[in-house]
């Protein structure tokens, strides 16, 4: 039996990168996976690959998309201003929007788990403190730089194989983070195998 049997997981950004790897890991651990992504083509491809997963068109910066996604998860350095806003929205506003739509559902159930793959761990820690007494665990995962679409779009620092190799040599593992590395970490705090103590500190 997998760590996530009988769980329904809505994985955002699941059409590629960290999200795709997390969706794959969650499916392997027995979860029913909703593949959420703004890119329908790549999101549907991941859903098909995972057999039994369902694609959900989801722009994490949209209230309407979060509201539409929730019922499906219930059981039965030249950056333009627009690009910078997108980066902030995906990494910060998305956390706020997910809380406003998902937390009332978790609180109503008296249980739930949320894991934010973001560098905004202070926000997650604050949310964990707020919702702990309501039975909801919230944990941050702050990955090392990894070869994902978001990095390629916003970072000129690692835009060539040579630069990435040089960066890899500067960190303990000797390489960049791979999406499945992050997926394996995320699966534990999202599962019922966790210790009740682990919230806001992952």
Q: What is the pLDDT of residues 78-101, one digit of tens each?
A: 556 776 777 678 777 888 888 889
Question: Is the per-residue pLDDT at 110 higher than 70?
Answer: yes
For strands 112-117 and 32-37, give the pairing. unpaired
> Does 126 or 42 have the greater pLDDT score?
42
Tens of pLDDT, residue by residue over 179-200, are: 888 898 888 888 876 556 677 6
pLDDT at position 113 is 87
* Half-sphere exposure (Cβ direction) of 119: Cα atoms closer than 13 Å: 6
Tens of pLDDT, residue by residue over 42-77, are: 999 999 999 888 899 999 999 999 988 887 777 545
Tell me the C-alpha distance between 48 and 4, whole Å.
Answer: 20
pLDDT at position 198 is 72
pLDDT at position 174 is 75
Q: Are 163 and 7 in contact (CB under 8 A)?
A: no
**Domains along the chain with CATH numbers:** 8-144+180-190 (3.40.50.720)
* Half-sphere exposure (Cβ direction) of 195: Cα atoms closer than 13 Å: 5
Q: Among 5-9, 26-30, 58-62, 146-150, whose mean pLDDT is lowest?
A: 146-150
Question: Is the per-residue pLDDT at 104 higher than 70?
Answer: yes
Q: 21-25, 111-115, 123-127, 147-151 — which one is most confidently predicted on average?
A: 21-25
Q: Are 202 and 139 in contact (CB under 8 A)?
A: yes
């Amino acid at each position: 039996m997998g760590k996530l049997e009988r769980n329904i997981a809505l994985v955002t950004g699941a059409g590629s990168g960290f999200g795709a790897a997390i969706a794959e890991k969650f499916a392997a651990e027995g979860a029913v996976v909703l593949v959420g992504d703004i890119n329908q083509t790549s999101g549907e491809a991941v859903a098909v690959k995972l057999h039994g997963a369902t694609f959900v068109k989801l722009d994490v910066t949209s209230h309407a998309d979060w509201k539409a996604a929730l019922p499906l998860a219930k059981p039965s350095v030249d950056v333009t201003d627009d690009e910078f806003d997108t980066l902030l929205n995906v990494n910060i506003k998305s956390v706020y929007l997910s809380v406003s739509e998902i937390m009332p559902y978790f609180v109503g159930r008296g249980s739930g788990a949320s894991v934010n793959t973001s560098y905004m761990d202070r926000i997650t820690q604050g949310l964990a403190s707020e919702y702990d007494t309501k039975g909801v665990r919230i944990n941050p995962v702050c990955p090392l730089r990894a070869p994902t679409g978001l990095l390629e779009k916003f970072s000129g620092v690692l835009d060539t194989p040579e630069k990435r190799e040089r960066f890899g040599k500067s960190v303990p593992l000797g390489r960049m983070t791979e999406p499945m590395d992050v997926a394996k970490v995320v699966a534990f705090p999202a599962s019922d195998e966790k210790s009740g103590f682990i919230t806001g500190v992952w």
